[in-house]
Chain A
Amino acid sequence: MTCRELIEFLADYLQHELAPGELAEFDRHLAGCRACANYLHTYRDAVALGRAVLRPDEDEIPPEVPAALVEAVLAARRQRPN
């Protein structure tokens, strides 16, 4: 397996979707290739940072609905009820 192939298979690897033969090759390459190991870690970290920054916190209090939006929605529904 080359570096190019390893990076192509990365998403499947992280999803545990590689076939056993592919997985063995993937692991063998990874064990001997510092650049691919670095790539794997930083790829994972990029995904984690996206989530850390943007994913809503379950406990977060949702924003107030702006009064103008409430008015607009109610008016639009009155115009075309159900």
Chain B
Amino acid sequence: MTADSVDPAEAALLAGLRAGDDKAFEQLVHVHGGRMLSAARRLLRVEQDAQDAVQDALLSVSRSIGRFEGGSRLNTWLHRIVVNAALMKLRTRRRKDEVLIDDLLPRFMEDGHALEPALPWSESAEALAQRGETAQLVRDSIDTLPETYRVVLMLRDIEELDTAEVAAVLGITPNAVKIRLHRARQALRTLLDPHFRERHP
């Protein structure tokens, strides 16, 4: 382990975990479990599923701590593990009735012009974010996305995994990640548009 960038408390925790120490594991749960739970809640939105995913992730950490290389931040590594556990959980869940992504994408005429030309929004994103109802509206809109698209949007834009990482965890090609992300963002825009569009007198 390199000593230059590792925080001493983290190094001690890691040493304890590698030795299979119960106290170190308990400390891991208390110190890092909360942040892992936040990520699981964002992806799964059902409290029990989120807690199950965190449990799976922590047990997986306990088994695979030997594979953690001191090079990356412990936080980053734990985040990847809980994201994976949450994705496993998502796969076992029954899909709700979903809207079709095509219904949320812009439509075009034969000649390639937009069927409904886009209008500007009434305020900047910063100003819209300050409105009381925006947070719930954005959450609900993201929840409305078909699951395969919602997951890619969450992993890329919110959890900030890069394209290659998302491709690896989902078992799809980087190009498929890019296509799904673009469609997911377009669909989110479509869902938000009627609420934020500039109204003409």
Contacts and interface: CB of A to CB of B under 8 A. Distances in A.
B118 A77 contact: no
Contacts of B186: 7, 43
Size category of the binding interface on chain B: 35 or more
Contacts, number: 146
A45 to B, nearest CB: 4
Interface residues of A, number: 45
B35 interface: yes
Contacts of B114: 3-4, 7, 35-36, 39
With most chain A CB atoms within 10 A of its CB, the pick from B114, B118, B138, B193 is: B118
Interface string A25-65: 00000000011101101111111111111111000001111
A19 interface: no
Nearest to B185: A47
A53 B134 contact: yes
| Dominant SS among interface residues on chain A | helix
Interface in B113-135: 113-114, 117-121, 124-125, 128-129, 134-135
20 contacts: A2-B113, A5-B112, A41-B121, A43-B185, A45-B124, A45-B189, A45-B196, A49-B134, A49-B192, A50-B157, A53-B135, A54-B158, A56-B39, A62-B35, A63-B34, A69-B55, A70-B29, A73-B58, A81-B20, A82-B20
User: Considering the complex of A and B, which 10 residue pairs feature the smallest CB-CB distances, nearest first?
Assistant: A2-B112, A62-B34, A35-B117, A65-B33, A46-B189, A11-B182, A39-B118, A45-B125, A38-B118, A48-B125
Interface of B: 20, 25-26, 29-30, 33-35, 37-39, 42, 51, 54-55, 58-59, 62-63, 106, 108, 111-114, 117-121, 124-125, 128-129, 134-135, 138-139, 142, 153-154, 157-158, 160, 178, 181-182, 185-186, 188-189, 192-193, 196
